[in-house]
């Protein structure tokens, strides 16, 4: 098995003679001490940080940063003048009662992300390949645009596709342009493969990098076993600068870009849990120029593998990641609906006590059973008491994905 593509990249970039736990952690400690010195010098906000640390374990004594604190203090956390900010990500979340959380990135921060993408994408693409980029790509520094830049850097032809195209248009594009790899959101990829299968098209896709949403085992299994796709999962979030960790050929977890990110798995108090034990993913961006985050609580759950990876990499490997912060609410519904082959897509909306679910089917499904299971989930979660299910069996050939951004329960 080939070693994780991150190994060589980190070794060369950081000029480390041999990559092992001792050399990786020595590099991280050096970067953390430099980071603390830099942020303390530039902003009074960081006066709570210690002057320096003797070991990485000392991080446990540093206060955690909550989403609420980030929202309230993002201006003081910006270390550069506004004129040097290239990209701003504005996010709204339920936890912040409508207040916007802003993340700032410099040109150099963006370049780091593109460089990481160009490395990670080698797990699915190589020179001469033809790659579908099916991610939000409507702005200059959107994730889709950065992925496209990274692919061009490794001489892979890019076919960007908007998220509101129909599955039919996509299947035709992939077939006509002989596209053999893709970067996509997991459930959209599943829907596309099911659609193509249903109309009897055999797509030339061989490998896919999935990101930006939960990817439960049943989904990866179907993409892998039924559609023979080499599936590589990526974990990243806006707060990590979009890139974060990527699977290797062993497909048993995602190796972390440990030269740019310190990921800690912690209990509620911010203490480390043992490797192999689940906890909250807490991240520190070691090198961000504009707005580094120190011990940011992502709200996501996961664990670090306690076993050495079969690929030979000594980079830490994230496993069982659950995107609690973004898509937990969809998971139980996914488990009812997307585990059924005949389901192409669905959306869910909620208005006071009424929950409406639209389901697009390619064939008849066991509707009574599905209805019962959906009712059970909705009542148990307390989302509503009035449940309305709309079955759409006619329009699947003209269907475009319901969600063009993050999948969630719509409330307006």
Return residues touching Zn ion (CB under 5 A). Answer: 4, 248, 250, 309, 311, 313
Q: How far is the CB of 304 from Zn ion (least distance, A)?
A: 13
Least CB distance to Zn ion at residue 6 (A): 9
Q: For residues 91 and 238, is the Cβ–Cβ distance under 8 A?
A: yes
Closest CB to Zn ion among residues 248, 360: 248
Helix (H) or strand (E) holding 75: helix 67-77
Beta strand pairing call for 157-160 and 130-134: parallel
> Strand (E) positions, 177-252?
181-184, 207-210, 230-235, 245-247
d(CA 390, CA 348): 10
Residue pointed to by tokens 């030979």: 312
* DSSP secondary structure string for all residues of 78-94: --S-GGGEEEEEEEE-G
Of 225, 164, 213, 220, the C-alpha closest to 404 is 164
User: Is residue 336 within a helix (H) or strand (E), and if so which, with residue range?
Assistant: helix 331-337
- In the bound state with Zn ion, the residue whose beta carbon lies nearer, of 3 and 87, is 3
| CB nearer Zn ion, residue 49 or residue 309 | 309
Which of residues 136 and 249 has its CB atom nearest to Zn ion in the complex?
A: 249
Give the nearest distance from C-beta 250 to Zn ion in angstroms: 5
Of 19 and 359, which has the nearer Cβ to Zn ion?
Answer: 19
The whole-angstrom separation of Cα 233 and Cα 171 is 22
Shortest reach from residue 303's CB to Zn ion, in Å = 15
Q: Shortest Cβ distance from residue 32 to Zn ion (Å)?
A: 25
Helix (H, G, I), strand (E, B) or coil at 357: strand
Of 319 and 356, which CB lies nearer to Zn ion in the complex structure?
319
Question: Residue 178 has what DSSP assignment?
Answer: T
**163 and 289 Cβ atoms separated by less than 8 Å:** no
Q: Which is nearer to Zn ion, 139 or 306 (CB)?
A: 306
Residue 18, C-beta contacts closer than 8 angstroms, at least 6 positions apart: none
Q: Shortest gap between Cβ of 256 and Zn ion (angstroms)?
A: 11
Q: Among residues 148 and 311, whose Cβ is nearest to Zn ion?
A: 311
Taking the CA of residue 179 as centre, how many other CA atoms within 13 Å lie in the half-sphere pointing to its CB?
Answer: 22
Q: How far is the CB of 246 from Zn ion (least distance, A)?
A: 10
Which of 153, 123, 121 is closest to 135 using CA atoms? Answer: 121
> What residues contact residue 172 under an 8 Å CB cut-off, 6+ apart?
none
- Taking the complex as a whole, the smallest distance from the CB of residue 379 to Zn ion amounts, in Å, to 42
């Amino acid at each position: 098995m080939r070693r994780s593509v991150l190994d060589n990249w980190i070794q060369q970039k950081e000029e480390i003679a041999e990559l092992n736990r001792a050399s990786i952690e020595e590099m991280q400690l050096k970067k953390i001490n430099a980071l603390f010195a830099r942020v303390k010098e530039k902003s009074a906000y960081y006066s709570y940080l210690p002057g320096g640390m003797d070991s990485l374990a000392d991080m446990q004594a540093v206060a955690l940063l909550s989403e609420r604190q980030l929202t309230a203090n993002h201006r003081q956390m910006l270390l550069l003048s506004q004129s040097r900010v290239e990209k701003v990500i504005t996010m709204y979340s339920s936890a912040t009662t409508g207040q916007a959380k802003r993340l700032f990135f410099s040109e150099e921060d963006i370049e780091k992300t593109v460089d990481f993408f160009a490395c990670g994408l080698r797990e699915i693409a190589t020179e001469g390949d033809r790659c579908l980029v099916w991610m939000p790509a409507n702005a200059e520094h959107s994730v889709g645009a950065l992925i496209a830049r990274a692919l061009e850097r490794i001489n892979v032809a890019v076919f960007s596709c908007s998220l509101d195209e129909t599955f039919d248009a996509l299947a035709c594009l992939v077939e006509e342009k002989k596209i053999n790899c893709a970067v996509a959101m997991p459930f959209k990829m599943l829907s596309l493969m099911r659609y193509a299968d249903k109309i009897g098209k055999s797509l030339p896709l061989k490998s896919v990098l999935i990101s930006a949403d939960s990817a439960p085992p049943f989904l990866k299994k179907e993409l892998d076993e039924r559609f023979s796709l080499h599936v590589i999962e990526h974990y990243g979030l806006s707060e990590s600068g979009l890139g974060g960790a990527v699977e290797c050929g062993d497909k048993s977890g995602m190796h972390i870009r440990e030269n740019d990110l310190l990921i800690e798995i912690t209990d509620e108090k911010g203490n480390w849990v043992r490797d192999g034990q689940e906890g909250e993913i807490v991240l520190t961006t070691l090198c961000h120029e504009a707005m580094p985050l120190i011990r940011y609580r992502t709200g996501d759950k996961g664990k670090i593998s306690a076993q050495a990876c079969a690929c030979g990499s000594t980079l830490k490997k994230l496993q069982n990641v659950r995107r609690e912060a973004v898509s937990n609410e969809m998971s139980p519904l996914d488990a009812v609906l997307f585990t059924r082959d005949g389901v192409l897509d669905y959306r869910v909306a909620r208005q006071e006590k009424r929950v409406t679910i639209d389901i697009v089917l390619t064939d008849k499904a066991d509707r009574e059973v599905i209805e019962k299971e959906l009712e059970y989930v909705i009542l148990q979660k307390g989302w509503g008491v009035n449940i309305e299910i709309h079955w759409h069996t006619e329009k699947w050939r003209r269907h475009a994905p319901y969600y063009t951004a993050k999948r969630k329960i719509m409330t307006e």
